[in-house]
Amino acid sequence: MKVYIDGVFYPESDAKVSIFDHGLLYGDGIFEGIRFYNGRVFRLDEHLDRLWDSAKAIMLRIPISLEEMREATLETIRQNGFQDGYVRLLVTRGKGNLGLSPDRCPKATVIIIADKIQLYPVEKYEKGMVMVTCATRRAAPAALLPAVKSLNYLNNVMAKIEASHAGADEGVMLNEQGYIAECTGDNLFVIKKGVISTPPVYAGALCGITRDVVFEICHELGIPIREIEMTRYDVYTADECFLTGTAAEVIAAIELDTRVIGTGEPGAITKKVIARFRELAQSTGTPF
């Protein structure tokens, strides 16, 4: 494997960053996870736009242009010879000192990794996911903006540990008001009487790229979709439920807190959305 670091490609064994990088010391940085299928990068421009928005929000200056980042991403995939896989693009605050201040970091570090990924076992895509509600709440917007895809994922990690200890595949995270924000790494959707609902971004959800694709699919297929504040009751009583994320793609969820959702199997509308998503992923995107 070859890894891009600040304009140079290194073998995996030689790919290193400074121990004084503030991305390591403080989680001070941003990232994007990007999928590519069949020789095309899916929604590359949308991912790069979100990366630049995240950088602006935390006052991080990306040291290369958007077009240079775009080409570096494509070249990293070419260097590794994959046709299908996953890109992890990181921008850290860069090398500084042991102090907290970012003023000590003169230049950000850019890292691009291309590899294979399968977030969940194949059978989960066929049968659906089991979820639990986590005690760990989603970080409030006044503390850490959920729209920023930052390297500080400890909030999500702690919730993921809870879900794992409970024997579940995924954990549902609530905000401080008790409304559903998102899962530990995915956006959440429910279907009731033919209408798809998902929590609004202001509830603590990430502005997911795959989430946006689902909105496009629903408009294309004529399926009603809306953003509403949701409680666990809305999931318990739903006819269907599914999760979305770049790594997870679109995957059904069939249980929350031991309550079976709908029939306990992936539903018809969920299957329709999954099928259309896979068509788009396999046939559209930026060629490399």
**CATH classification at residue 133:** 3.20.10.10
- Exposure of 103 by Cβ count < 10 A (0-12 exposed, 13-18 middle, 19+ buried)? exposed
Cα–Cα distances in angstroms (integers) from residue 4 to residues 30, 252, 283, in the given order = 16, 35, 27
User: Which stretches of the chain score pLDDT less than 70?
Assistant: none
Per-residue pLDDT at 119: 84
**Is 243 a domain residue?**
yes
Range(s) of the domain holding residue 177: 122-283
- Which residues lie below 8 Å from residue 124, measured CB to CB, with a gap of 6+? 169, 251
Asked if residues 61 and 108 have their Cβ atoms less than 8 Å apart, the reply is yes
pTM: 0.96
Whether 236 maps to a domain, the answer reads yes
Q: How many domains would you assign to the chain?
A: 2
Do 32 and 11 belong to one domain?
yes
Residue 199: CA count within 13 A, CB half-sphere: 32
Rounded CA gap, 240 and 261, in Å?
Answer: 6
Residues across the chain: 288
Phi/psi of residue 249, nearest 5 degrees: 65, -125
Residue where one domain finishes, among candidates 98, 115, 132: 115
State how far the Cα of 288 lies from the Cα of 282, in Å rounded to an integer: 14
Q: How far apart are CA 227 and CA 105, in angstroms?
A: 40
Q: Are residues 266 and 202 in the same domain?
A: yes
Q: Which residues contact 278 (CB under 8 A, 6 or more apart)?
A: 249
Write down the pLDDT at residue 146.
87
Placement of tokens 């994922």 in the chain: 153
Are 131 and 93 members of one domain?
A: no
**Interatomic CA distance for residues 6 and 132, integer angstroms:** 40
Same domain, 99 and 161: no
Which of 244, 58, 47, 22 shows the shortest CA–CA distance to 144?
A: 58
CB count within 10 Å of CB 193 equals: 7
State the distance between the two ends of the chain, measured CA to CA, in whole angstroms.
17
Whether 288 is covered by a domain: the verdict is: no
pLDDT 10s digits, 254-265: 999 999 999 999
At 224, is the secondary structure helix, strand, or coil? coil
User: Considering 2, 95, 124, 149, which one is annotated as catalytic?
Assistant: 149
Do residues 11 and 135 share a domain? no
CATH number for 97? 3.30.470.10
Cα gap 76→81, rounded to integer Å: 9
| Active-site residue flag, 272 | no
Task: Note whether 73 and 126 are same-domain residues.
Answer: no
Q: Could you identify the residue written with the tokens 């995240």?
A: 54
Task: Give SS3 for 87.
Answer: strand
User: Mean pLDDT for the chain?
Assistant: 97
Model confidence over 40-89: pLDDT tens digits? Answer: 999 999 999 999 999 999 999 999 999 999 999 999 999 999 999 999 99
Residues 99 and 80 in one domain: yes
166 and 279 both lie in a single domain: yes
